[in-house]
Amino acid sequence: MEDEGQLRDPPKAVNDHDDTDDPSTRPGAVVGSYLVALGLLCHAAWDVYHYRANRVVTRSLAEFCLVLDTALAVAIIVLTATA
C-alpha cells in the first residue's frame, strides 16, 4: 500500500516523449523529407517547361506554381538539414 505522504511522479502528458521517439531523428523521416523536396523541385522544373511552352496551363498559374514549389522545397531542405 502506498503511503499518502509520499510524492509521486505526475503522469506524463500524451505528447511528452524523449528524443529517441522523435520522428525527425529517424533516418526514414529524413530521407522522406528530402524525397518530398526533390519531388517539388522536379515539379518546379515541369512548371518551367509549361511556362516556356505556354501550353496546358496559363503562364501565370505555371509561374505561381513554380514559385510555390521552389519555396516549399527550399523550406523542407532547410528545416530537415537544421533539425
Residue 37 · residue 43 · CB < 8 Å: no
Residue 45, phi-psi category: left (phi > 0), alpha (psi -120 to 50), beta (remainder): alpha
pLDDT at 18: 55
pLDDT at 47: 95
Global pTM value:
0.68
Q: SS3 sequence, the chain?
A: CCCCCCCCCCCCCCCCCCHHHCHHHCHHHHHHHHHHHHHHHHHHHHHHHHHHHCCCCCHHHHHHHHHHHHHHHHHHHHHHHHC
For 35-66, write each residue's pLDDT tens digit. 999 999 999 999 999 999 998 899 999 999 99
Tell me the chain's radius of gyration from C-alpha atoms.
23
pLDDT at 26: 76
